[in-house]
Amino acid sequence: MTAERGDRGKRGERGERGEQSTGTVLVVDYGAQYAQLIARRIREARVHSEIVPYTTSVADMLARDPSAIVLSGGPSSVYAPGAPAAPEGLFEAGVPVFGICYGFQLMAQAMGGVVARTGTSEYGGTALAVTPGPSALFSGLPDQQLVWMSHGDSVTAPPPGFSVTATSTGTPVAAVEDLSRRLAGVQFHPEVGHSEHGQAVLERFLHNVAGCWADWTMDNVIETQVGRIQAQVGGKRVLCALSGGVDSAVAAALVQRAVGDQLTCVYVDHGLMRLGETEQVERDYVASTGVDLRVVRAEAQFLEALAGVADPEQKRKIIGREFIRVFEQAAREVAGTEGSVDFLVQGTLYPDVVESGGGSGAASIKSHHNVGGLPEDLAFELVEPLRELFKDEVREVGRQLGLPASIVGRQPFPGPGLGVRIVGAVDAYRLDVLRRADAITREELTRAGLDQSIWQCPVVLLADVRSVGVQGDGRTYGHPIVLRPVSSEDAMTADWTRLPYDVLALISTRITNEVPEVNRVVLDVTSKPPGTIEWE
């Protein structure tokens, strides 16, 4: 760290034990999706992190030899019946611990502090006052700073041995430290971007209190994953579910780095892609990687299976089922010429796992064909080298592997394609309408130079909704199109992007002029939460 530190910060620089650690930081998930954001922020500090459920025993945590443990926030009150408790024996185990929000309250309560229902809640931006004196968490930071709070209960008295290092108007104990035991906690959320010095506070815990080395890089990830892939696959054949998107492209490049020509990529043209994307995959990805690519034309098969199905979860599962069946046939064809295929590569990311209910304490928001919709009789063993990574980390891996910017910079696109951007049943007519509207939107956003300032812009067809319009001096009864521009860092949270009005007006005019089936264009201005990025 470059900021000056007080005496306590100097003593904590390598931890009380005078040592630095290259191990993993465990994030204990108490049911809030912010647990994933905490893990991501720790990785941004170049320290490896993993998430474990709050039901994990201390013995199991210590068996993983963690360099530190972070207790996440959560929706519960420490006083609620059945509320998750602090892991028994954790604070006496000698491992550095950092409590955040609910995790901070658990720490305070378990160690003899007081947590009270004061009747004063704090939500959103809150002024934090750093108390005078040396501090490992706040050394070199402003005495007054804005942080993000979200709590009803408050710590009103610190546990014995802890010093109070910050307060707010509604929280007399907003941060504490006990460097002799390498323990600290904060009531606010340092992992959230609205906490203006939150990342610095988190890094000060990692480096000044826990003594973690900042040595986890994407180079290390590549090296580790290549070794894992080689150990898993051996000398056998591998198929990759290549979609042309960032995730599958990077996964394929990583597997290719590990096993070379044992990999065959299969691109399934399921008829649900955007305008020109199949041709782009065939041209650009092969040119940049030299991978063995097989293209399977399966539009008729998918549309037949989707006929009349409007439920979004059912659509996802059907697409996943047919997707795998196509791969099984492709595997048989590859096996007929090159030997049996035992492994299937997928570009599953950590947010996919979380939103499919695979993250500890998280509800299933939607199923993905590459996570929650696989058939029980799957004929392949899965290879998922990106399963623990966030999107920005995947892009960096792609850059390290030498993939071109046109691939690693591509905006996210769902595996089920336009099938989940049609609200209602999917058919060839509706896909054609949506493709043309989507192509216009992407063209104008690119022309305006906005590709890199938004996370993505889903274009949604409300297929089962009609609205009255006037086109060509006549009354029309056409479809509405929804524009969903969003900004995000990792897809866990997102806000709608404030696009220039002239760009929105141009997109709307072009769509209603050039796609006669559409007579209304609307803008989705919902953040995530409460809304998801995709409509289905």
Main-chain dihedrals φ then ψ at residue 154, nearest 5 degrees: -140, 150
Report the pLDDT value the prediction gives residue 496, as an integer from 0 to 100.
Answer: 92
Minimal CA–CA distance to 175: which of 108, 110, 123? Answer: 108
Report the pLDDT value the prediction gives residue 82, as an integer from 0 to 100.
Answer: 83
Q: Which of 30-39, 251-260, 390-399 has the highest mean pLDDT?
A: 251-260
Share of the chain above pLDDT 70, in %: 88
Contact assessment for residue 25 and residue 48, using Cβ atoms and an 8 Å cutoff: yes
Collapsed DSSP state (helix, strand, coil) of residue 218: helix
Kindly report the CA angle at 397 between 245 and 365, in degrees rounded to 5? 55
Active site residues: 101, 189, 191
Contact assessment for residue 42 and residue 204, using Cβ atoms and an 8 Å cutoff: no
- Distance spanning both ends of the chain, measured CA to CA: 44
Collapsed DSSP state (helix, strand, coil) of residue 480: strand
Token digits for 381?
């063993």
pLDDT digits (tens, 9 = 90+) for 194-242: 899 999 999 999 999 999 999 888 888 899 999 999 999 999 999 888 8
- pLDDT: is 474 or 347 the higher one? 347
Contact assessment for residue 454 and residue 487, using Cβ atoms and an 8 Å cutoff: yes
Determine the average pLDDT of the residues in 80-94.
90
In the block, which residue shows the tokens 């047919």?
A: 322
Least confident range from 303-312, 343-352, 361-370: namely 361-370
What are the distances in angstroms from CA 430 to CA 427, 433, 463, 464? Answer: 6, 5, 7, 10
pLDDT of 445 > 90? The answer is yes
Radius of gyration of the chain measured on its C-alpha atoms: 26
Least confident range from 84-93, 364-373, 389-398: namely 364-373
pLDDT of 9 > 50? The answer is no
Report the pLDDT value the prediction gives residue 107, as an integer from 0 to 100.
Answer: 93
Main-chain dihedrals φ then ψ at residue 342, nearest 5 degrees: -115, -15
pLDDT digits (tens, 9 = 90+) for 141-167: 999 999 988 777 788 899 999 999 999
Token digits for 367?
């199923």
Average pLDDT, the chain: 85
Report the pLDDT value the prediction gives residue 362, as an integer from 0 to 100.
Answer: 37
Least confident range from 338-347, 369-378, 467-476: namely 369-378
Report the pLDDT value the prediction gives residue 306, as an integer from 0 to 100.
Answer: 97
What are the distances in angstroms from CA 532 to CA 30, 57, 355? Answer: 21, 33, 10
Determine the average pLDDT of the residues in 443-468.
91
pLDDT digits (tens, 9 = 90+) for 16-43: 434 555 679 999 998 876 788 899 899 9
> Whole-angstrom Cα distance, residue 124 to residue 174?
14
Residue 430 — pLDDT band, cuts 50, 70, 90? very high
Least confident range from 430-434, 458-462, 494-498: namely 494-498
Minimal CA–CA distance to 117: which of 171, 78, 80, 153? Answer: 153
Spell out the residues 6+ positions from residue 98 whose beta carbon is closer than 8 angstroms to its own. Answer: 68, 69, 70, 71, 183, 184, 185, 186, 202, 205, 209, 210
pTM summary value? 0.70
Minimal CA–CA distance to 242: which of 295, 288, 290? Answer: 295
Token digits for 127?
């002024």
Minimal CA–CA distance to 243: which of 394, 383, 416, 378? Answer: 416
